[in-house]
């Protein structure tokens, strides 16, 4: 599954267009390496996202199907940590 689709389906980022833009602008990393929205997400990947005031790190536990329900979205990833900055 594409990175932008994964971020949208798991509701880490609410809209796919925003996920694509963030990826293509260099705010999303997998294992410390910049990746584009077309990156193929795999189980065990560690995704790091730089938001405006924080950095969040996730570990992919499973790949969701299209149309994932909101209450099931968080079972596909594990939160590894958050770091706030100014």
Domains identified in the chain, total number = 1
Query: Which CA distances in Å does 76 have to 9, 53, 69, 84?
Result: 9, 24, 12, 24
What range does the domain containing 24 cover? 3-84
Report the predicted TM-score, pTM, of the whole model to 2 decimal places: 0.91
Checking if the pLDDT of 66 tops 90, the result is no
Residue 43 has a pLDDT of: 97
Per-residue pLDDT tens for 5-34? 999 999 999 999 999 999 999 999 999 999
What is the pLDDT at residue 86? 73
The Cα 67–Cα 79 span in angstroms is 22
CATH of the domain at 52: 3.10.290.10
């Amino acid at each position: 599954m594409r990175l932008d689709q994964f971020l949208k389906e798991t509701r880490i980022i609410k809209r796919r267009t925003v996920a694509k833009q963030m990826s293509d602008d260099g705010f999303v990393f997998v294992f410390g390496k910049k990746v584009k929205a077309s990156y193929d997400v795999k189980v065990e990947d560690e995704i790091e996202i730089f938001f405006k005031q924080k950095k969040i790190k996730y570990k992919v536990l499973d790949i969701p199907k299209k149309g994932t329900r909101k209450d099931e979205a968080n079972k596909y990833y594990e939160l590894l940590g958050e770091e706030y900055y100014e």
